[in-house]
Structure 1
Amino acid sequence: MSNCKNNLVLRGIIATSLVTASLLPLTVSASVGKDSAKVSNSKQKVDAIEILQPSHPLSFKQGEKIDGKYKILNVNVDGKILKQPVRWTNLSTSKIGNFTATATYSKRGKTVQLKVPYTISGYKLALMHTNDTHASLDSAPKRATAINQLRQENADRLLIDAGDVFSGSLYFNEFKGLADLTLMNYMNYDLMVPGNHEFDLGTEAGHQEFATFIQNAKFPFVSSNVDYSADQYLSSLYSDEIERKPYDGKLYEGVIKVVDGKKVGFFGLTTEDTANIASPGPIKFQHYVEEAEKAVKAFKQRGVDQIVAVSHLGFDDNPAIDNDLELAKRVEGIDVIIGGHSHSRLDAPVVVVDGEEPTVIVQAYQYGEFLGTLDVEFDHTGKVVAHQGKLIDIKGYAADPRAVSLLAPFAKEIESIRNAEIGAATTAAFDNPRDAGDVKKPSVRKNETALGNLITDGMLDRAKRIDGEVVAAIQNAGGIRSSINAGPVTAGEVLTTLPFGNTLAVMTLQGSELLSALERSVSIYPIESGGFLHMSGMKIEFDSSKAANNRIVKAQVLRNGQYVDVVTNENYKIATNFFAAKGGDNYLEFKKAYEEGRVNDLGIIDWEIMRDYLVKLQTVTPTVEGRIVDIKQ
């Protein structure tokens, strides 16, 4: 065949991927002439030809150029198997799917034909993702096991973190992120975007601890809307460029990775609200939409059509500031958003379609409880044509032994710190009673308690320092989990009292909404409710003999040192934890405010607020002040 020599190079490039040692015969041979004996003279006609199909279907990428008209198949010529180029007809890579092509082969007067199935697939991107882990390291060895198992299935699966590794546990207080980084480096993270809490330790001079964290990372960071130029520690680590070969331990505008033969662009966004809820010092934050548009344009100019935003904006946070839903709607060309900040549990990806291009949004809740996975298929133009994602609950995994050994020295030191005194003391125990089903007994879930008062006093004190218009603070009873003993208070006691690491948020509510929420708080009294609200800067009287939702007799907030009645058509700024602010415990009034952009997450962890407030007071005495009174009794 005249084309054999011309296709020697072609055979070496593509035959290996298409033909295996074990081959299945699919086409019968045919005899020519009376004598079917094997031909020993190469000039004689061939008696039998059989084309052997590869054991796996032929596979191509959409838009892939087929070199000439030939691919390699094994051919049985009179009992001798030859790897030969075969002419194809009607083979196209323009559409994704399963198709059939016709192969023809001729040798010295004999031709055979074979219909061969082939597959055209899109370009695949496989991701794992975490966010808002907040130094919750005790479960990290289980996460490592899940990551290793997924990488065994697909070695090209990338691991991304969407920010807020800093703050939230004793591990962070003691090691400033380096304990987390030891585990992240072991897990081989590929990329991270800074969250707002990464800027908690900043001073007017800059962010020394965050710079140390970055420098020791065995992966790069993407940060597209943050100006580091005035920070003496971070400015030298930042490059305002899109980098094809990024260095570990550096910050970039964006990076390009080649996955499955295609360039994929990654850029990072951090909420502009960081300026208000962290300690940014000289760091400046730029508008997320403008910077995202610049990043997308820059990628397109470099021939990158598959673009991923690693976002610490929040899935559905205040749209007046920024969030992922708005990002997907307002910026064209983003294919995937890996999110954080709002601690949203997206059990399945959320798809936003604005025009012809869909954007897939994922987020993996909080504290490393879940490992997110996302598999995306793109067509040759970079458009998402298929996706599948889920959250993996890591509780059921065994701990990775190596990760356990890496964490051990940090955990040992933390255990002693957990028992350390914080510098405050109580004159008597702050109890956290439950009634065990006896409605005559007091309970944190239906009665005012000294502990509930202490917690909300601390919340109000912190919120007022940030926003002087806040008038009151509330805390759902279900978030208060333990008591505090008499005597010196330890860090462990504070952590077990508020173990969920909720952040402080401020809601702007109409008086009518606040009154409705207060009705909900006492609606099933004297039965316990995790949604029962403890309060500071506010007090209520209710009549439990009346029907639910008609029990509030008086509700007042503290203004200028005096309690005044709540007025239905006035607005009130109320501090609470972010769980409640998003509508937790079925507070539909708060959920409505959140969805309408009337909630601002201040990003400060609840147990840290309580600890700092106790230290401020130094000595505290349990006190019940008549903030919540049933007038029937």
Structure 2
Amino acid sequence: MVNILKNKKFVASAVTVAAVVTAVSPASAAEMKFTDVSDRYKEAVQFLFDLGIVAGETETSYGTEHTVKRQDAAVMIAKALGYDPADTYEDSGFTDVPKSAKWAVDALKQDGFIDGKTATRFGANDILTRNETAKILAEAGNFEIDDTIKETKFTDVNERFAKYVDALVDNGITFGKTSTKFGANDAVTRGEAALFLHRTALKMMDGVYSLSVMHLNDTHARLDSAAKQVTAVKEYRAENPDSLLLHAGDTFSGTLYFNEFQGEADLAVMNLMDFDAMTFGNHEFDLGASTEGHKALQEFVAAAEFPFVSANVDFSTDPLFTGLFQTKIGTTPEDSNIYTGIVKEVNGEKVGIFGLTTKETEDISSPSLVSFDEDYLEEAQTMVDEFEAMGVDKVIALTHIGFDDNPAIDNDQVLAEEVEGIDIIVGGHSHTELAEPVVYDGDDTPTVIVQAGQYGENLGTLDVLFNGDGIVFAAAGELIEIKDQVADTKAVEVLAPYKAKVEEISKTPIDATAVEALTTPRAGEDLTAPSVRKNETALGNIITDGMLAKAKEYDENVVMAIQNGGGIRAGIDAGPITVGEVITVLPFGNTLATMDVTGAELKSAFELSVGQLPRENGGFLHVAGAKVEYDSSKAAGSRVVNISLENANGTFTPISDTTTYTIATNAFTAKGGDGYTMFEKAYTEGRVTDLGLSDWENLRDQLESIGEVNNDTEGRLVDVNAAN
């Protein structure tokens, strides 16, 4: 099993090392300011000094012949591996380590690179031996260690250290003091330590290839911050000029930009950003059932100044895509084409990229004539094998299957576990914000998984180092928040006409009128006042009615819908209702999800909903399709009296604890937002399906179906305590 290094600073340092290695020359060694460093050690000391890994004992003395304490060695090695003194590491439990070295000892112990003399004693002031140095460098250097080695050619190396000394000798890090003596228990000098570290760095960089990736997913036509995204991309690219830019799907649906321009506005910015590839999300197929079919998607592809990758989606039976859909890997990929996968040459190396889209698309979107292969794992393995046959050993899966979605259908974690040979998974669909890369290292070819969240709120970045065999041995990444960047002027100019139209449309009335104001009161400190966060409201009922109606279109078994009061952010004034007002009510861009839960889980959820009364609770649940009776005079946790489902004839039937019901809610609540751990459990167990339908659009449709809307409530949430 490969021990993949995930320290961000290490990866950055390693890339620097690779550059410094090529720059080291006799001229740079001649600049040595330490007068006690002999020619044997000059290059190593200068190299480590330039990287800030070592310092002199004085301004002019390095202390070459002085011995190294174990605590000092820990600091040197931790710095070489890029550990940050400001980070927090697991407490090693050693009581003899001074504060100045504790971070380094803790970091190296946490990752298994060092041991103590005992459980509580590190031996901080003990002199570091050559045996101990061999063990630390063999493990920290990620060298292959043969556990079967019990002895070496050196007669003074015991069985405990034999495999480590053997690994260092095999990699040219050390050669022993004589042909038969390693000097196993001799003290290591500062000069020798520098020499060992320098050789280890050179060996680790031998044949190393560095790849940088920027990534976005589930942007859903959120273009208000797109000009700042362009700036973030340009800034990252300025420092990493050979980095890839990938999109993991779902640019379609979600805002007025899409409703009006059907991807045209998004593409205008994407072309400006110079993407390398995109895969399809389920929402790219939302218009398939329209009279024009996938015409908007076809136009999106045709106008794209980048290629698309999709190994498990078959466009061949839709004539709109004739000439755009290629069934082979594109070795010289052209813009505006769909390939199963493509090969890009990056920094002198070939990188394979293939795409996957969730098979759930057939149920939660409108693919129409477009079809999806049954086994995404089989398609992925086929792609890896094809790349391998082409001599491509660095493979990226650009996926829209979700990080932790229903494993019975598809998700990235299952993909990483089941298909060997995928180095990087750039994912989407689940809107997961992975602050750091997740690494699956259960086999000899680790897989790094990243996802940037949603709505273009972050630009994902990833740096990966491959060894000479094309295997990932180090990875680090972060999400760059799109917030404080200065908007790119060209992007602002490109978006201006689209933005003007959207602002105009937001003022346009929908086909509904509020006969009276639809209120969303807040109680504040007045515990007797009504609030959308603790009382039934007309707007809450309308929202959940719309959720229930829309969910039933996809699954007739849905019996109830719930909406958290904290997600209802504004009321609607009396008079004609505008698009802008609807969006203001539900501004978070939540999507509609269905969820299978037991009656017992529902009761537990409503206990949480009413548990803080008479105080407000952002998680207070509004409901459609059911009546919930509770007693606010009872202790929290035992207030729910009855939950009954509404029948077609207007009667109600109590739910059963042991029966499983399909309900609708927003994705935030379905993932456990507002403390709904029972829903989070359902989500992690694959009992949630995100339909991806915009909440404000559902509300608009429901308001239009009513026409003339009033502020009446219907007794869906009833406090049976007479005093209230």
Structure-2-length-normalised TM-score: 0.73
1:243 aligns with 2:326: no
Letter in 2 for 1:264: V
Q: 1: distance between equivalents of 2:323 and 2:284?
A: 17
In 1, are the aligned partners of 2:312 and 2:376 still within 8 Å (CA)? Answer: yes
The alpha-carbon distance between structure 1 residues 351 and 27, as it changes in their structure 2 partners (threshold 3 A), is: closer
CA displacement 1:405-452 (0-9 Å, x = unmatched):
111111111111110112222211111111122111111000000000
Question: Which structure's residues are more often helix, by fraction?
Answer: 2
Q: How does 1:47-196 map to 2 (within 5 A)?
A: 119-120=202-203, 121=205, 122-196=208-282
SS at match of 2:619: coil
Cα distance in 2 for partners of 1:215, 1:164 equals 17
Match of 2:350 among 263, 266, 278: 263
Cα deviation per residue 1:291-337 (whole Å; 9 max; x = unaligned)? 11111111111111111100100110111211111111111111111
C-alpha distance in 1, partners of 2:402/2:460? 16
Question: Please, which of 446, 462, 470 is the counterpart of residue 358 of structure 1?
Answer: 446
Asked whether the 8 Å contact 2:507–2:578 carries over to 1, the reply is yes
Q: What is the alpha-carbon distance in structure 1 between the residues aligned to residue 538 and residue 550 of structure 2?
A: 19
Give the corresponding residue for 1:375. Answer: 463
Q: Quick one: distance in 1 between partners of 2:307 and 2:497?
A: 26
Q: CA deviation at 1:630?
A: 1.3
1:220 to 269, 291, 307: 307
Q: 2:381 aligns with which of 293, 314, 333?
A: 293
Match of 2:496 in 1: 408
Structure 1 residues 19, 554: closer, same or farther in 2, change over 3 A? closer
Of 577, 597, 601, 2:686 maps to 597
Q: Contact 1:476/1:532 (CA < 8 Å) preserved in 2?
A: yes
* SS of match in other structure, 1:119: helix
Q: Work out whether residues 131 and 363 of structure 1, in 8 Å CA contact, stay in contact via their aligned partners in 2.
A: yes
Task: Write the distance in 1 (CA, Å) between the matches of 2:720 and 2:643.
Answer: 13
The equivalent residue for 1:313 is 401
The amino acid that maps onto 1:488 is P
| Structure 2 CA distance for aligned equivalents of residues 249 and 547 of structure 1 | 62
Counterpart among 362, 374, 392 of residue 275 in structure 1: 362
Partner of 1:8: none
- Looking at structure 2, the residues matched to 430 and 189 of structure 1 have their Cα atoms a distance apart, in angstroms, of 44
Instruction: Compute the displacement of 1:263 (Å).
Output: 1.4
Match for residue 349 of structure 1? 437
How many residue pairs are counted as aligned between the two chains? 553
Displacement of 1:18? 4.7
Q: Residues 422 and 295 (structure 1 numbering): CA distance in 2 closer, same or farther, change over 3 Å?
A: same
Instruction: Report the Cα distance in structure 2 between the residues aligned to 1:99 and 1:426, rounded to whole angstroms.
Output: 80
Aligned residue for 1:398, secondary structure, equals: coil
Q: Could you tell me which amino acid in structure 2 is paired with residue 186 of structure 1?
A: L
The amino acid that maps onto 1:575 is: A
Amino acid at match of 1:208: K
Q: Is 2:24–2:43's contact at 8 Å kept on the other side of the alignment?
A: no
Cα deviation digits, residues 329-359 of structure 1 (max 9, x gap): 1111111110101111111111122322221
Deviations 1:48-94 (Å, cap 9, x if unpaired)?
xxxx9899969xxxxxxxxxxxxxxxxxxxxxxxxxxxxxxxxxx99
Higher gyration radius (CA): 1
Q: Hey, what's the Cα distance between the residues in 1 that align with 2:671 and 2:594? A: 11
Q: Quick one: distance in 1 between partners of 2:218 and 2:513? A: 32
Q: 1:25 to 1:446 in 2, by over 3 A?
A: closer
Instruction: Give the residue type in structure 2 aligned to 1:24.
Output: S
2:297 is aligned to: 210
**Partner SS state of residue 319, structure 2:** coil
Q: Distance in 2 between matches of 1:20 and 1:322?
A: 49
Counterpart secondary structure, 1:282: coil
Contact map agreement 2:509 2:576 (CA 8 A) in 1: yes
Code of the residue aligned with 2:311 in structure 1: it is S
> Aligned partners of 1:523, 1:412: CA distance in 2, in Å?
46
- Equivalent residue for 2:670? 581
* Distance in 1 (alpha carbons) for counterparts of 2:586 and 2:458: 21
Larger strand percent: 1
- Superposition map of 1:188-587 within 5 A: 188-203=274-289, 206-286=293-373, 287-561=375-649, 562-587=651-676
CA distance in structure 2 between the partners assigned to 1:549 and 1:494 by the alignment: 35
> How far off is 1:371 after superposition?
0.7
CA RMSD of aligned residues (A): 2.8
1:464 to 1:55, Cα distance in 2 relative to 1, 3 A: same
Corresponding residue SS for 1:388: strand
TM-score, normalised with respect to structure 1: 0.83
Q: Is the CA contact 1:206–1:234 (under 8 Å) kept in the aligned structure 2? A: no
Query: 1:99: how far off?
Result: 7.6
Q: Return the offset for 1:617.
A: 2.5
Once the two structures are superposed, residues 150-173 of structure 1 have per-residue CA deviations (whole angstroms, 9 ceiling, x without a partner) of: 111010111111000000000111
1:48 alignment counterpart: none
Aligned amino acid, residue 436 of structure 2: A
Q: Alignment identity in percent? A: 51
